[in-house]
Amino acid sequence: MEKIILDRRTMIQSLAGGAGTLGLVSQLSAEQPNRPHHRVRARRVIQLFMNGGPFQGDFLDPKPLLEKYEGQRPSQADLRTERATAGLLPSPFKYSRHGESGLEMSELLPGLARHADELCVLRSMYTDNPNHGPALLLMNNGSITPTVPSMGAWMMYGLGSENENLPGYVVLCPGRPVRFSILWNSAFLPSRYQGTYINHSSLEPEKLIPYLRNTTIGREQQQRQLLMLQQLNHRHLEKRASDRQLEARIAAMETAFRMQFAASEAFDLAGETAATREAYGKGHFANGCLLARRLAERDVRFIQVYHGNGQPWDTHNDHHQKSRELAGTMDRPVAALLDDLKQRGMLEDTLVIWGGEFGRTPTTENGNGRDHNHYGFTMWMAGGGVRGGMSYGETDDFGFKAETDPVHIHDLHATILHLLGIDHERLTYRYAGRDFRLTDVSGNVVNKILS
């Protein structure tokens, strides 16, 4: 492919009197407004989004006292959430210690247990609002109101993309999470920083990325067509002397042409071995994790994988059964993803984040369900500059509310940006008379979890 493109370039250059396009790409990528502020620990981020909100007590925050007080509602557990809840409902899942660190993990995470020493468990997360919409917005955009850019857009603004043939910020969801595209929008930041949403419920690369392939003409013919287009464009440009915008569109046209093949290749799981496919298992989320690994290998900056359409983890009833099923589709691919990253030496500079927009109540709703819980929940991170085999912070005796070392979403964002080499207080954008930033006016880096 490289050769053909060079030939074409030569032809274009000869026709356009030497006005080649090679220099343009670097000129475009020189537009980055920011550079890292300090040492970069993570070059890319994979966020595994458990939309709907998993229950912390089922996975990484054991609370033996729940059994003692089962069915009761001690004053400590008498917190108001979205819906009315009754007495305490213990988690039926057994915990044991894993790895050299002896991290306590439940039986729902047999695969992840292999990686106990890589996990940095944040047990004391909390957020501001127990509704899905505002909580998703806070987690993704740093505000409960839908008017500000997403975290990924801030990353792109701060660091740019490292692969000019692929979008730098990709959102994989087999369907749509609540609030949909607002969760990856760029709001007042330039629109090139918005996330590229990809519904991977079908795995054909042409269906994954809009307009990726030309369905009517072959590659050679398209190349000839592009040659004609660029010849006309160069002729047009030549008569107008220098113009950055005209040049930029000519360059973007060439990138798009290459992208057709680069992106097809990146999104094509057919190249993976049967053993790899087996390791990740079946299903949308497994495919999402595998795609995330492929994109990470190609230096896509930020990849979000939503666990499913809508809010799969929203277990208002039949919680135990659903939690077990959901964990069954989650644990294996996530563990396989960590295996792959480790094996490729990429975990060192890839930050993996796991969690929902909030947690769930240790008290019961409808007898067998759990309500949203913004007072306290668990997330974990791995790789990219965080300490493994540790837990940070604590919830109360029942796992309801973050008590020791609470970590707000702003703190989480400050920490993520820190790992990417960005000072969250310095990554600002002037809009409507104010310097905006992802963390609004707060946020503290959680220093104790840095490796």
Q: Which of residues 344-373 bind another protein (CB under 8 A)?
A: none
Identity of the residue, 62 or 359, whose beta carbon is nearer to another protein in the bound complex: 359
**What is the C-alpha to C-alpha distance for residues 396 and 346, in angstroms, rounded to an integer?**
36
Label residue 75 exposed, middle or buried (CB < 10 Å: 0-12, 13-18, 19+): exposed
**Residue 216 tokens, joined:** 């009517």
Q: According to the binding rule CB under 8 A, does residue 13 interact with another protein?
A: no
Identity of the residue, 233 or 364, whose beta carbon is nearer to another protein in the bound complex: 233
Q: Give the footprint of another protein on residues 281-310 (CB under 8 A).
A: none
Identity of the residue, 276 or 428, whose beta carbon is nearer to another protein in the bound complex: 428
Q: Strands (DSSP E) along 64-102, which ranges? A: 95-98
Q: According to the binding rule CB under 8 A, does residue 432 interact with another protein?
A: yes
Q: According to the binding rule CB under 8 A, does residue 450 interact with another protein?
A: no
In sign, the C-alpha dihedral spanning 109, 110, 111, 116 is positive
Phi, psi of 93, deg, nearest 5: -90, 130
Q: According to the binding rule CB under 8 A, does residue 236 interact with another protein?
A: yes
Q: According to the binding rule CB under 8 A, does residue 252 interact with another protein?
A: yes
In whole angstroms, the minimum distance from the beta carbon of 68 to another protein comes to: 27
Q: Give the footprint of another protein on residues 184-223 (CB under 8 A).
A: 185-188, 190-192, 194, 196, 209-218, 221-222
In whole angstroms, the minimum distance from the beta carbon of 81 to another protein comes to: 8
Query: Do the strands 377-383 and 119-126 form a parallel or antiparallel pair, or are they unpaired?
Result: antiparallel
Q: According to the binding rule CB under 8 A, does residue 29 interact with another protein?
A: no
**What is the C-alpha to C-alpha distance for residues 31 and 20, in angstroms, rounded to an integer?**
20
Q: Give the footprint of another protein on residues 101-130 (CB under 8 A).
A: 129-130
CA 365 from chain center: how many Å? 30
- Residues 6+ positions from 189 with CB-CB distance below 8 Å: 149, 153, 154, 157, 429
Residue span 41-80 as binding mask against another protein, x where in contact by CB under 8 A, dash where not: ---------------------------------------x
The residues with which 427 forms a beta bridge, in sequence order, are none
Angle (CA) 163-177-336 rounded to 5° is 60
Label residue 10 exposed, middle or buried (CB < 10 Å: 0-12, 13-18, 19+): exposed
Q: Which amino acid is at 42?
A: A
- Using CB under 8 A, pick the residue from 2, 94, 433, 447 that binds another protein: 433
Q: Which stretch binds another protein (CB under 8 A): 50-58, 67-75, 82-90, 409-417?
A: 82-90
Q: According to the binding rule CB under 8 A, does residue 227 interact with another protein?
A: yes
Identity of the residue, 38 or 97, whose beta carbon is nearer to another protein in the bound complex: 38
- Using CB under 8 A, pick the residue from 228, 270, 274, 275 that binds another protein: 228
DSSP state of 211: T
Q: Which amino acid is at 20?
A: G
Query: Residue 329: which H helix or E strand, with range?
Result: helix 319-343
- Using CB under 8 A, pick the residue from 9, 20, 40, 82 that binds another protein: 82
**What is the C-alpha to C-alpha distance for residues 4 and 1, in angstroms, rounded to an integer?**
5
In whole angstroms, the minimum distance from the beta carbon of 216 to another protein comes to: 5
Identity of the residue, 119 or 259, whose beta carbon is nearer to another protein in the bound complex: 259
Number of chain positions touching another protein (CB under 8 A)? 77
- Using CB under 8 A, pick the residue from 270, 274, 275, 441 that binds another protein: 441
- Using CB under 8 A, pick the residue from 20, 87, 110, 133 that binds another protein: 133
In whole angstroms, the minimum distance from the beta carbon of 83 to another protein comes to: 6
Alpha helices in 62-162 (DSSP H): 65-68, 132-141, 151-159
- Using CB under 8 A, pick the residue from 7, 36, 84, 318 that binds another protein: 84
Question: How many residues make up the chain in this entry?
Answer: 451
Q: According to the binding rule CB under 8 A, does residue 233 interact with another protein?
A: yes
- Using CB under 8 A, pick the residue from 5, 203, 256, 390 that binds another protein: 256
Q: According to the binding rule CB under 8 A, does residue 224 interact with another protein?
A: yes
In this structure, the number of other CB atoms found within 10 A of the CB of residue 225 comes to: 13
The residues with which 404 forms a beta bridge, in sequence order, are 394
Q: Give the footprint of another protein on residues 386-425 (CB under 8 A).
A: 425
Q: Which long-range contacts (CB under 8 A, 24 or more apart) does 215-221 make?
A: 219/261
Q: Which amino acid is at 299?
A: D
Identity of the residue, 246 or 390, whose beta carbon is nearer to another protein in the bound complex: 246
Q: Give the footprint of another protein on residues 134-193 (CB under 8 A).
A: 134, 144-147, 164-165, 167, 179-182, 185-188, 190-192
